[in-house]
Amino acid sequence: MEIWGKEKIIMKLLLFNYEYPPLGGGAGNSTMSIAKAYSKLGHDVLVVTTWFEGLPEEDMANNMKVLRVKSRRKRKDRSNPLEMLDYVGKTKKLKNIIKQFNPDFSIGFMALPSGLSSYYYFKTQNIPYIISVQGGDVPGFLPDIKSLRIFQYLSMPLTKKIWKNSIKVVANSRGLMQLAQKTGDKINIKTNFYPNGIDLNFFKPIDKKNEIVKILFVGRFYSQKGLNYLLESINILKESKLSKKFCLELVGDGP
């Protein structure tokens, strides 16, 4: 960590996520956005993620570096537990690179698998870490999916150990924070709420005259995504008799 005068503190951040655009979904995009935001503020950022065919093993832009390790991942959109564990194993081979980078702390996006990499470097290089839970890694999340419920049950001891040794466990919604706190109560830790940010330079209203307003949903058609609230809201809009016409487009597939 470098301190400039009394105002600016320059940090070195290490981010672990087995998914990073174009791989995965929301958690990967969140990791990318956070990395770019810290980099823009002048901090040094190292992202360790998964390589995929057609992608470079390293990307460097200003003070941000993306390092992709070759694991057994076969698909862009999803990964299985064995592929995730292979990612963790490959991150353990970066000891010299991470030691040379000398981060102030790391962030593991999802306790499993990425948090396991953060935990490993906490134990071997004394690098403190934050866990950013995303949903599926939180015990009790989507209990009606049997395979996920079994995974959460089997991984509970490891999840508790990873959470217990972290600086903080943070969630991106109040509901997820409250669910995570049920596990936190068992190990005497407090979970925290840090909402996802939004790039207001990119996502901003555009004044369009005499055009149909398009509302776009992109995601899985699953109850956890809150599609029922969207449809209820659309019905309210429809009954309000707005001056402009609008249409709703849904893009996605099943669970």
Q: Which domain holds residue 236?
A: 213-251
Has residue 17 been placed in a domain? yes
55 and 162 fall within a common domain: yes
Whether the CB-CB separation of 53 and 39 falls below 8 Å is answered with: no
Q: Higher pLDDT residue, 152 or 9?
A: 152
Residue 5: pLDDT band by 50, 70, 90 thresholds?
Answer: very low
Looking at 147, 164, 193, which one is the last position of a domain? 193
178 and 241 fall within a common domain: no
- pLDDT tens digits, 189-226: 999 999 888 888 888 877 767 678 888 998 888 777 88
Report how many domains make up the chain. 2
* Residue 185 parent element (H or E): helix 174-186
181 and 223 fall within a common domain: no
171 and 223 fall within a common domain: no
Has residue 7 been placed in a domain? no
pLDDT at 210: 66
Q: Tokens standing for 113?
A: 């698998």
For residue 144, the SS3 value is coil
Has residue 21 been placed in a domain? yes
Has residue 3 been placed in a domain? no
- pLDDT tens digits, 91-106: 999 999 999 999 999 9
Closest CA to 170 of 48, 30, 22: 30
pLDDT at 203: 81
User: Domain containing 166 — which CATH number?
Assistant: 3.40.50.2000
221 and 189 fall within a common domain: no
Is the model's pLDDT at 117 over the cut of 90? yes
167 and 230 fall within a common domain: no
pLDDT at 8: 67
For residue 236, the SS3 value is helix
Q: Is 11 exposed, middle or buried (0-12, 13-18, 19+ CB in 10 A)?
A: middle
Neighbours of 145 (CB within 10 A): 15
The rounded mean pLDDT for the chain is 90
Question: Can you tell me the mean pLDDT for 11-30?
Answer: 93
Has residue 57 been placed in a domain? yes
pLDDT at 1: 58
